[in-house]
C-alpha cells in the first residue's frame, strides 16, 4: 500500500488540551477576551454551522449569536486557542448541524475533527447530566466545563465514556484474492449502506470477548483470533470506539433481524466493484474508524461514501 493511499493512523493527537489551565480563571478570561481565540457554539449533538462547515468564531461573535453558556476549554491547535460554548437551547435564527450533516467538510479538511468531537462530547454530557446522580442536587460546572460539582453534597462528576467495540471480521488466506470481509447493514440506513459490525462492551467482559459475542449475536459468525487496531472518540452520545480485526472460524451468516437488516461477505474485488457502481456505500472517510478499518484491509481508498 502506497503512502498516498494509506489511511490516517487512528488516535493521533490533533490538539493540546491544556489541562493545566482549566483551573486558572484569570488565564481563561484572558483567552476568552482574545479575538484570535476560536469558539464553536454547541448544543448537545449539534454545532453552529456556516458554509457547510463548523462555525469557528471569535468569542464575542459566538456570544452575540447564541447568548451566554458554559465555556469549555478545548485546547490549543496550530497556535490558536479553541473553546466550545455550550448552550442549553438552540435558537432558530442560526443554522445548527450534526456531525453527519457536515461529513464532507471532514473528508476534505479534517484537521478539526477531534476538536469538534471534543466539543460535541462535552456538550452531550452537559446536556444529559443535569442533576447529581448521588443526591439529585443541582450541578455547577468547574474546570473549564470538564467537571460538574454538586451544589448540595459537593460530589464531583466527570464525563462518562462508554466503551464500544467496532470490528472488521475476515475469512480466508490473508492477502489472497479469496479473502473476504464481513459487513452489515442497519435497519435505519437503507439497503445500500454497509459498515463494520459494532457493539457495546458489557460488565465483566474483555474487549476481545465483546468482539466475539457481538459478531455471534448479530451475524451468527464465530470469531477466533482478535487483534487490536486503534481507537476513536465517538460523541454520539459518549462512546469510545475500540477498533479490532477478527478472524472468522465459520462463514455461514445468520442475521439477528432485530440487530441488522443484512450482512454479507465481500472479497476485495467485490467491494471495489460494488462501491464503484453505487450498489453499496460505506461510511464517510475522515469521520468513522469503520472506513479506516475497511480501507486498511482493502489496501487503499475505495470510492463513494454515505
Whether residue 264 is found in the same domain as residue 183: yes
Domain residue limits at 28: 19-128
Whether residue 177 is found in the same domain as residue 103: no
The last residue of a domain, from among 77, 112, 128: 128
Please count the structural domains in the chain.
Answer: 2
Whether residue 205 is found in the same domain as residue 262: yes
pLDDT given for residue 9 in this prediction: 45
Does residue 181 sit within a domain?
Answer: yes
Instruction: Say what the pTM is.
Output: 0.83
pLDDT given for residue 1 in this prediction: 32
Q: Residue 251 — φ and ψ, nearest 5°?
A: -120, -15
Q: Which residue has the higher pLDDT, 232 or 1?
A: 232
Residue 7 has pLDDT above 90, yes or no: no
* pLDDT confidence band for 2 (50 / 70 / 90): very low
Whether residue 26 is found in the same domain as residue 97: yes
pLDDT given for residue 295 in this prediction: 96
- 165-175 pLDDT, tens digit per residue, is 999 999 999 99
Whether residue 114 is found in the same domain as residue 189: no
Whether residue 175 is found in the same domain as residue 246: yes
Whether residue 176 is found in the same domain as residue 86: no
Whether residue 172 is found in the same domain as residue 252: yes
pLDDT given for residue 284 in this prediction: 82
Does residue 192 sit within a domain?
Answer: yes
Does residue 81 sit within a domain?
Answer: yes
pLDDT given for residue 198 in this prediction: 97
Does residue 226 sit within a domain?
Answer: yes
Whether residue 236 is found in the same domain as residue 290: yes
Whether residue 279 is found in the same domain as residue 195: yes
For the residues 15-42, what does the mean pLDDT come to?
97
Residue 96 sits in a domain whose CATH number is: 3.90.79.20
| pLDDT-wise least confident of 14-28, 58-72, 108-122, 168-182 | 108-122
Does residue 56 sit within a domain?
Answer: yes
Does residue 102 sit within a domain?
Answer: yes
Residue 179 sits in a domain whose CATH number is: 3.90.79.10
- 215-266 pLDDT, tens digit per residue, is 999 999 999 999 999 998 888 778 999 999 999 999 999 999 999 999 999 9
| pLDDT-wise least confident of 42-56, 67-81, 88-102, 186-200 | 88-102
Does residue 257 sit within a domain?
Answer: yes
Whether residue 75 is found in the same domain as residue 121: yes
Whether residue 96 is found in the same domain as residue 188: no
Does residue 219 sit within a domain?
Answer: yes
Amino acid at each position: 500500500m502506497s503512502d498516498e493511499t494509506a489511511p490516517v493512523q487512528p488516535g493521533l493527537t490533533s490538539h493540546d488540551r491544556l489541562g493545566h489551565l482549566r483551573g486558572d480563571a484569570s488565564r481563561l478570561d484572558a483567552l476568552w477576551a482574545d479575538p484570535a481565540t476560536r469558539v464553536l457554539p454547541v448544543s448537545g449533538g449539534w454545532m453552529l454551522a456556516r458554509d457547510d462547515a463548523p462555525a469557528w468564531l471569535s468569542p464575542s461573535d459566538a456570544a452575540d449569536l447564541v447568548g451566554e453558556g458554559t465555556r469549555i476549554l478545548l485546547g490549543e491547535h496550530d497556535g490558536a486557542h479553541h473553546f466550545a460554548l455550550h448552550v442549553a437551547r438552540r435558537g432558530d435564527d442560526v443554522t445548527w448541524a450534526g456531525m453527519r450533516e457536515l461529513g464532507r467538510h471532514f473528508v476534505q479538511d479534517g484537521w478539526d475533527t477531534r476538536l469538534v468531537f471534543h466539543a460535541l462530547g462535552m456538550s452531550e454530557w452537559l446536556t444529559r447530566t443535569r442533576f447529581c446522580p448521588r443526591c439529585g442536587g443541582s450541578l455547577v460546572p468547574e474546570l473549564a466545563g470538564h467537571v460538574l460539582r454538586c451544589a448540595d453534597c459537593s460530589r464531583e462528576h466527570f464525563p462518562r465514556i462508554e466503551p464500544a467495540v467496532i470490528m472488521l471480521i475476515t475469512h480466508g488466506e490473508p492477502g489472497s484474492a479469496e479473502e473476504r470481509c464481513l459487513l452489515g447493514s442497519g435497519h435505519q440506513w437503507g439497503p445500500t449502506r454497509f459498515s463494520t459490525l459494532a457493539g457495546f462492551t458489557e460488565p465483566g467482559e474483555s474487549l476481545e470477548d465483546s468482539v466475539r459475542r457481538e459478531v455471534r449475536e448479530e451475524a451468527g459468525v464465530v470469531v477466533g483470533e482478535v487483534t487490536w487496531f486503534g481507537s476513536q472518540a465517538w460523541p454520539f452520545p459518549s462512546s469510545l470506539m475500540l477498533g479490532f480485526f477478527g478472524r472468522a472460524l465459520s462463514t455461514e451468516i445468520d442475521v439477528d433481524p432485530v440487530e441488522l437488516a443484512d450482512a454479507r461477505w465481500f472479497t476485495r474485488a467485490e467491494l471495489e466493484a460494488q462501491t464503484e457502481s453505487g450498489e453499496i456505500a460505506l461510511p464517510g472517510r475522515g469521520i468513522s474508524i469503520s472506513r479506516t478499518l475497511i480501507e486498511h484491509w482493502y489496501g487503499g481508498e475505495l470510492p463513494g461514501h454515505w
